[in-house]
Amino acid sequence: MTTSVPRRVAIVTGGTRGIGRASAERLAADGMAVVAVYAGNKDAAEETVTGIIATGARAVAVQADVADEHAVAAAFDVAEQEFGGVDVVVNAAGIMLLGPLAEFDLDALDRMHRTNIRGTFVVNQQAARRVRSGGAIINFSSTVTKLALPSYAAYAASKGAVDAVSLILARELRGRNITVNAVAPGPIASDLYFEGKDQETIERAAKANPIERLGVPADVAEVISALAGPARWINGQTIYVNGGVI
C-alpha 156/C-alpha 212 separation (Å) is 23
So what's the architecture of 9-188+218-239 in CATH? 3-Layer(aba) Sandwich (3.40)
**Beta 86-91 vs 179-185: how paired, if at all?**
unpaired
193 band by pLDDT with thresholds 50, 70 and 90 = confident
In the Cβ-directed half-sphere of 208, how many Cα atoms lie within 13 Å? 19
198 band by pLDDT with thresholds 50, 70 and 90 = confident
Q: What is the crossing angle of helices 217-228 and 18-29, to 10°?
A: 50
pLDDT over threshold 90, residue 192: no
5 band by pLDDT with thresholds 50, 70 and 90 = low
pLDDT over threshold 90, residue 166: yes
Query: Would you state the pLDDT for residue 34?
Result: 98
pLDDT over threshold 50, residue 1: no
Residue ranges covered by each domain of the chain = 9-188+218-239
Where in the sequence numbering do the catalytic residues fall? 155
Q: What is the mean pLDDT of the chain?
A: 95
Question: Which residue type is seen at 239?
Answer: I
Question: Which residue type is seen at 62?
Answer: V
The contacts of residue 5 (CB under 8 Å, 6+ apart) are none
